[in-house]
Amino acid sequence: MQFFGTKKLGKIEDWEPVVSKKNWVPKHSAYELAHSWQPAAGFPPSVAAVFMSCHSDALAGIRPNYGVVEKPVFLDTMKGPSWKDVMVYCTNADSEPLVVAVEGKAKEPFGPPVSDWIRAKGERGESPEPKPSRVRRLNYLSKQLGVSFQADSGLRYQLLHRTASVIVESELHSAAAAIVLVHSFYEESTENWSDYVRFVNAIGIADPRKNVVQGPVQLGQSGGTPLFLAWVSDRPVESSN
């Protein structure tokens, strides 16, 4: 049996041992998320503004109750959970639960493309054939997202499993909606935005835009929980002072 524990993070510095010292660097996403979210009385201003402009009844009056930093969500097996930067548990104006999966991004990419990940390329040399365990994971993600992803896909694996994880978590909590929120602190690079655009196109959003809540799209094996997505552009904390 495995056990996972958390503690209350009362101040910004409490995030460091959770996200690891190597990630605790200014202008890196873990550091910037802590400095943006911890001091906020609710959502950070940039995020709150995007939610306030949303006209969906499901998200009306959205307010955060608590967040879990580095939240693991198990997928098809008890190995290799999807770790969310921050999973925020919210309610709407009707007191219905909502789950927001926050993905922080600065200069870090969205990880390897599916075509590299499924062959474990870069870990211990490239394997010519997809690993069976990863083929099973990809099939699971395809069912969760309602899209048949192929082993040669150039989509970023991180976007697939992080999106599936919020669907799993929202169904566990009987949420009225799930939201994938990319909180970006480095807008100079266009690579992450291009990867995000290709992914949201694949799941049914034709015209991705920044600083707008888009959706819902009905994903998952049962087409159940409505999924919304948003990319929020922000600045590193030092640039904001």
**pLDDT tens digit sequence for 19-31:** 999 999 999 999 9
Q: How far is CA 15 from the centre of its chain?
A: 18
At 200, is the pLDDT very low, low, confident or very high (cuts 50, 70, 90)? very high
Whether residue 40 has pLDDT greater than 80:
yes
Instruction: Report the first-to-last Cα separation within the chain, whole angstroms.
Output: 47
Q: Is residue 138 in some structural domain?
A: no
Instruction: List the 82-91 sheet strands across, edge first.
Output: 63-73, 82-91, 97-105, 177-184, 226-233, 214-218
Q: Is residue 136 in some structural domain?
A: no
Q: How many helices (H) and strands (E) does the chain have?
A: 8, 6
Whether residue 1 has pLDDT greater than 50:
no
pLDDT in tens, 209-221: 999 999 999 876 6
Domain range for residue 56? 12-109+156-240
Region 87-94 average pLDDT = 97
* Total domains in the fold of the chain: 1
Q: Is residue 202 in some structural domain?
A: yes
Q: Is residue 171 in some structural domain?
A: yes
Distance of alpha carbon 73 from alpha carbon 80, whole angstroms: 9
At 225, is the pLDDT very low, low, confident or very high (cuts 50, 70, 90)? confident
Q: Is residue 167 in some structural domain?
A: yes
Q: Is residue 215 in some structural domain?
A: yes
Q: Is residue 128 in some structural domain?
A: no
Q: Is residue 50 in some structural domain?
A: yes
- Given this model, what pLDDT does residue 117 score? 95
Q: How many Cα neighbours within 13 Å face the side chain of 63?
A: 7
